Amino acid sequence: MEEESDTRKINNSFLRDHNYATEADIISTVEFNPSGELLATGDKGGRVVVFQREQETKSQPQRRGEYNVYSTFQSHEPEFDYLKSLEIEEKINKIRWLPQQNAAYFLLSTNDKTVKLWKISERDRRPEGYNLKDEDGRIRDPSTITSLRVPVLQPTDLMVEATARRVYSNAHTYHINSISVNSDLQTYISTDDLRVNLWNLEITDQSFNIVDIKPSNMEDLTEVITAAEFHPQQCNTFAYSSSRGSIRLCDMRKQALCDTHSGPPKEPEDPSTRSFFSEIISSISDIKFSHSGRFLMTRDYLTVKVWDLNMENKPLETYQVHDYLRGKLCSLYENDCIFDKFECVWNGSDSVIMTGSYNNFFRMFDRNTKRDVTLEASRENSKPRAILKPRKVCMGGKRRKDEVTVDSLDFSKKILHSTWHPQDNIIAVAASNNLYIFQDKVA
């Protein structure tokens, strides 16, 4: 995306489409694997759908970048906590891929209480010629076995299998909102409203509590943890954000319980703009380290901020996502939209950031040129190879042909979840029960 026009030359793929969608079909998370060859989505029905990137061929070079269904499996089922009389939803809150070590793929998925490690592998051969059972699997009578034979592997149709290798449960009292894999590839963290737990990937029955902000008296509770993420290179460093707009940078080498921290302070608020909604809209819904590890990006309700970890006194950059909504905070509070948790992502070179908005709009900000663009994910422009046109929102007065007024925005349509290919200019955004993939125009 070297020029603003390049952000408009985006091809569109429309992957998941349910004409008769239910609540269970709504996508709740989306994530590329580290190579970008696979793309996983989780939904409110507890399902994980994995898409695989098509390989380029000489006859069809344009197919490179298209994603087709690779595997579908049920990750979580609804449960009931009888001690607390609470129903535990099957909704997938987060998916995180592990770097590929062999032919198989591994990913972590979590609902409100339980994290699972899944192995996704291919099988194109099956063993035949067993001694103790028939080809249909029935056990043979040992008295009928008169000779021994060597089993052989016969070619068969390619099968993709998903198996749960680990189940990490019973460690969270509150709802898990994020998980993050450490760069040491041995540990990961799971985060709920008040605690951050550190797990070893090989051990399922114990974890270490490394952050605990629960007060002795719950009436004194003033904030909750909203997100946490490991540093991409430093295995001892992680950051977490809170509902009061603060960011904490923690070093696990200092002590076992990271209740002391450094990091960017909460940005001082302009008294002239303070209102009843100030504390609500300052809540950070997502944090992401840049791939280089130098910067930390945070998303609150109205803005995206980029912090330099070497300059903690104020954000390095601040981008207004939808400042035109500042005058509609009262109605957004009444319909609960003000509590929506938007995610934010970096591109592979950390030069462009992306985040979602309403009316199925999503925003891109080029950090080098300071240009930004608003694009829309919708059925109207979901034809393959369609080129997206930038959208603009006008505050009032005379509306131009291609503009949308603030009053006509559909707040039931929102882009909360998105992900960016780690190397290429390919993005995936979830709009309710539909998944869209956009990529740079293929010449």
In the chain, what are the domains? 21-122+159-168 (2.130.10.10)
The pLDDT value recorded for residue 4 is 37
Tell me the C-alpha distance between 131 and 116, whole Å.
36
**Whole-structure pTM value:** 0.85
Do residues 428 and 32 lie in contact, with contact meaning Cβ atoms separated by under 8 Å?
yes
pLDDT in the model for residue 440: 79
pLDDT of residue 382: 64
Give the residues across from 139 on adjacent strands.
133
- Report the alpha-carbon distance of residue 197 to residue 212 in Å, rounded: 9
Average pLDDT score, the chain? 86
CB atoms within 10 A of CB 46: 20
Specify the 3-state DSSP secondary structure of 104: coil
The pLDDT value recorded for residue 139 is 82
pLDDT of residue 381: 64
390: left (phi over 0), alpha (psi -120 to 50) or beta: beta
Q: How far is CA 161 from CA 38, 76, 127, 285, in A?
A: 15, 16, 16, 34
Count of beta carbons in the 10 Å neighbourhood of residue 154: 10
Residues of the chain falling short of pLDDT 70: 1-21, 56-65, 260-274, 381-383, 397, 441-443
Q: What are phi and psi of 94, to 5 degrees?
A: -150, 150
